[in-house]
Homo-oligomer: A and B are copies of this chain.
Amino acid sequence: MTDDIRLCRTFQTAPAAVSTDDAGPDDAAKYLRSALTAEGFRAPDWLVPDLEDGTAPGSKRAGVENVVELVPSHDVDGEVWPRVEWSHLDETVRDAGRDQIDALVAGAGDDIDGFVVPKVGRRPDVERAVDVVSEVEAAHGYEPRTFDLTVVVETSRARSDLRPIARFGADSRLAAIAFGPLDYAADLGSRDLGDRPRWDGTLEALSNEASAAGLLSIGGPFDDLFTERAGVTYYNGDAYVDRLEHEAAIGIDGSWSLHPNQTVQANTVHMPSPDALERDVDRIERYNRAKRGGTGAVVIDGRMVDEASLKGFHNTIRRVRAIDRIHPAQTDAYYDDDLLKRALDLDLTR
């Protein structure tokens, strides 16, 4: 049980259906299929088939059908979290979202971990979304809390209610809170004059309230996928990693990915580095030896090891074990065999 860490280094959205204007009907599920078959570091922790902004209004039904057809027939390593339509302002949109949740639970419920609900408003709107999932879940005979919920904070009202929403989430099926900077900026009437704000205050608050309530926090999408310099256009990997490192530094648990390259980078940045793993394996080994030797206080690297630091060391190991359990190809490729074996063999009792 103590090894159960919920991983969401990557929250990759993929359109559930591409408009048939852009692709032949046979290819309408191309991005979804590609994400479902991604391997190694390209496999996200959470795959989010997108029925909201990523799928055109005329293709919503096709999108639901694609998810129902493809998700159960593919064996993905991570979790599957469809994003449905929602709006705190528009009952018609909420009804569409409810119908999508209903169709997805009916057709693919055994392979779905939760639902991502965008454009929520204040806390009562989040409670309303939870109620919708509860009703659909019961109607289809699933156990209570089979399906978790992630909300996207991207309205001024949700931001205003971030603390009450998170506190409500601590005792509900709410598992994560993601940030949606583009819709958020539009909702605030912000004007795009070049440099987009980083919304530091909101990201700090998101990280804090999620932690305080035992929820995961997920950063917003980065859609400057490509950059151009001196005549060549290429993947904008530097800017995305800068964003990822900032998010990791303030305790955001996972990052939004829009592209397999972004998934590789987010998986990597949110994974303990080999040096960090080596250091914490070593510390725990020394701690365990000292403890067996009977000394009361244990000094490691010149500092007393208290419960909080020990928990920190253990968390490194637990994260690596969770990645190894879910995506063994990633730990195999990233860590030296001996180091990984030491991490898997450690005694984490205290």
Q: Which residues of B contact A269 (CB under 8 A)?
A: 193
Tell me whether A188 and B160 are in contact (CB under 8 A): no
Which residues in A have some Cβ–Cβ distance to B below 8 Å? 19, 21, 53, 56-59, 90, 155-157, 159-160, 163, 166, 183, 185-197, 199-202, 204-205, 207-209, 211-212, 245-246, 248-251, 253, 269-270, 296-297, 299, 304, 306-308, 312, 315
Residue among A21, A200, A248, A249 with the highest chain B CB neighbour number at 10 A: A249
Nearest chain B CB to A107 CB, angstrom units: 23
Say yes or no: A208-B53 contact (C-beta < 8 A), given A90-B307, A249-B191, A253-B189: no
Tell me whether B159 and A21 are in contact (CB under 8 A): no
Q: Which residues of B contact A296 (CB under 8 A)?
A: 57-58
CB contact between A208 and one of B21, B156, B193, B207 (< 8 Å): that residue: B156
Residue of B whose beta carbon sits closest to that of A303: B53
Residue of B whose beta carbon sits closest to that of A186: B312
Q: Which residues of B contact A156 (CB under 8 A)?
A: 208-209, 211-212
Copies of the polypeptide in the assembly: 3
Nearest chain B CB to A275 CB, angstrom units: 12
Tell me whether B57 and A306 are in contact (CB under 8 A): yes
Q: Which residues of B contact A187 (CB under 8 A)?
A: 211
Tell me whether B205 and A251 are in contact (CB under 8 A): no
Tell me whether A308 and B186 are in contact (CB under 8 A): yes
Tell me whether B196 and A249 are in contact (CB under 8 A): yes
Residue of B whose beta carbon sits closest to that of A211: B156
Residue of B whose beta carbon sits closest to that of A92: B307
Tell me whether A212 and B57 are in contact (CB under 8 A): no
Task: Tell me, in angstroms, the Cα distance from A200 to B202 when the chains sit together.
Answer: 11
Tell me whether B201 and A188 are in contact (CB under 8 A): no
Task: Tell me, in angstroms, the Cα distance from A204 to B307 when the chains sit together.
Answer: 30
Tell me whether A299 and B57 are in contact (CB under 8 A): no
Task: Tell me, in angstroms, the Cα distance from A200 to B299 when the chains sit together.
Answer: 33
Tell me whether B183 and A207 are in contact (CB under 8 A): no
* Further pairs besides A155-B212, A193-B269: 10, Cβ < 8 Å: A53-B304, A53-B306, A160-B166, A188-B211, A189-B211, A190-B251, A191-B249, A197-B204, A201-B201, A201-B204
Residue of B whose beta carbon sits closest to that of A119: B308
Nearest chain B CB to A49 CB, angstrom units: 17
Q: Which residues of B contact A193 (CB under 8 A)?
A: 245, 248-249, 269
Tell me whether A209 and B160 are in contact (CB under 8 A): yes
Nearest chain B CB to A165 CB, angstrom units: 12
Tell me whether B201 and A304 are in contact (CB under 8 A): no
Task: Tell me, in angstroms, the Cα distance from A14 to B10 when the chains sit together.
Answer: 43
Nearest chain B CB to A133 CB, angstrom units: 23
29 interchain pairs, CB-CB under 8 A: A19-B304, A53-B304, A56-B304, A57-B304, A58-B296, A58-B297, A90-B307, A156-B211, A160-B208, A183-B308, A185-B251, A186-B312, A188-B251, A189-B315, A190-B251, A191-B249, A191-B251, A192-B249, A193-B249, A194-B245, A195-B249, A196-B249, A199-B204, A199-B250, A200-B200, A200-B201, A200-B204, A201-B204, A202-B204
